[in-house]
Amino acid sequence: MRPARRMESVPASGTLKVLDLARRLELEGKDIIHLDVGQPDFDTPEHIKKSAEKALAEGITGYTSSTGTMELRTAISEDLRNKDIDRQPEEIIVTPGAKHAIFSAIAVTLDPGDEIIIPSPCWTYEGMARIVGVEPIFVECSEKDGFRAKSDELESKITSKTKALLINYPNNPTGAVLDEDELRKLADLAADNQLWILTDEVYDALTYGERSKSIASFSEVRDRAIYINSFSKTYAMAGWRLGYAAAPDQIISGMVKIQQNSTTCAASFTQAAGVAALKGPQDCVRKMAKEYERRREVVIEGLNSIKGIRCIKPEGAFYAFPNVEGLGMNSVKLCKHLLKEVGVAAIPGSAFGPGGEGHLRISFANSMKNLKEAIERIKKFV
């Protein structure tokens, strides 16, 4: 007996590998500063937690519709209108985290053997694609271009098997953001080639300049855009596992089938918290974003002060993606040395697809004190 052959091509999470090693070292008593996992270090805002407590006290603990509660889907629809995205509650599905929404969207839009184009460096979409028999086609985005996708480079990878384009801006791991002109070029590319667009925008509230538009707001791709977001980063709700997708009816119908046959629904009291997050005060979001921006300045300045390291300034998300080629070792080896010798946990760039090697992903979702100490430890190691 053996597992299905397709699982042999599914990579494990590079992020979780580092986290596992870090936790083992912590159990041995080593002091570790975590710049690895991409989750906010802030507590979930109090009014959101209280809404979940209220729901639990009122006995809201049963199954909901697999699409999510109407109250939450209505709140999401209203919030999307603020981003110029026109989707009715019937065109929205609530999922237990954005990961499940992305996986379901890939499964619904592509058949085994189809290809999906993914600008890289990128988050770990590869495993999701390979589980359902889809071939990820990576297009490397160069550091000199700020890790931004170029429509002509993506177009060169389109074949008769290409059925979708997956983009993630603000980007994990690079923090890159696309301007409206380049997004429109991607929208035209998808429309001209009859491609689905999966747009992962979980960091959309974390930009350090003018807030970028969503490609899902462009009318020419309304019938082919699948917008995905979550509450994890914006509202510091990573462990609540609450995400959603907004898409044409036929896509939502397919995603509902997947949810009915797998997770059933997101937790009911978590969905109540999601309503409070969207309809409640947003000053908490602005406060967190402002603090991330302060930390960004310290981290980028600190990294660029270390001989052998250079780092462009990210325009969004809460990651730095420094180039460490000048240190003369690959990213996995460097991460192991940093972890074991100076107690700093970072993620090797090789975990993020083509173009990632020679870099580290460093999360600045940590306290200013810890970030400054981590920079000093890295400097000491170098």
Residues 13-44: tens digit of each pLDDT: 666 677 788 888 888 888 999 999 889 999 99
Task: Please check whether residue 371 is in contact with residue 295, taking contact to mean a CB–CB distance below 8 angstroms.
Answer: yes
Residues 156 and 81 in one domain: yes
Alpha helices in the chain (DSSP H): 14-27, 46-57, 70-81, 98-109, 126-131, 151-155, 180-192, 249-260, 268-279, 283-304, 331-337, 368-381
Residues 118 and 264 in one domain: yes
Residues 274 and 355 in one domain: no
Residue 54 located in a structural domain: no
Residues 63-122: tens digit of each pLDDT: 999 999 999 999 999 999 999 999 999 999 999 999 999 999 999 999 999 999 999 999
Residues 175-230: tens digit of each pLDDT: 999 999 999 999 999 999 999 999 999 999 999 987 789 999 999 999 999 999 99
Residues 235-274: tens digit of each pLDDT: 999 999 999 999 999 999 999 999 999 999 999 999 999 9
Residues 163 and 275 in one domain: yes
> Domain count of the chain?
2
Domain edge (last residue) among 226, 247, 279: 279
Hey, is 362 helix, strand or coil?
A: strand
Residues 144 and 198 in one domain: yes
Residues 22 and 110 in one domain: no
Residue 50 located in a structural domain: no
Residues 23 and 167 in one domain: no
Residue 118 located in a structural domain: yes
- CATH code of the domain containing 184: 3.40.640.10
Quote the Cα angle for 99-101-105, to 5°. Answer: 120
- CATH code of the domain containing 326: 3.90.1150.10
In this predicted structure, the answer to whether residue 379 has a pLDDT above a threshold of 80 is yes
Residues 275 and 287 in one domain: no
Q: How far apart are CA 232 and CA 240, in angstroms?
A: 7
pLDDT at position 25? 84
Residue 55 located in a structural domain: no
What is the reported pTM? 0.95
Residues 234 and 332 in one domain: no
User: Look-up: residue for tokens 């001989």?
Assistant: 307
Residues 258 and 161 in one domain: yes
- The closest of 238, 227, 216 to 93, measured between CA atoms, is 227
Residue 366 domain boundaries: 5-44+283-381
Residues 183 and 81 in one domain: yes
The total number of residues written for the chain in this structure = 382
User: Look-up: residue for tokens 């999401």?
Assistant: 76
Residues 329 and 196 in one domain: no
Q: How far apart are CA 271 and CA 244, in angstroms?
A: 11
Quote the Cα angle for 280-167-321, to 5°. Answer: 85
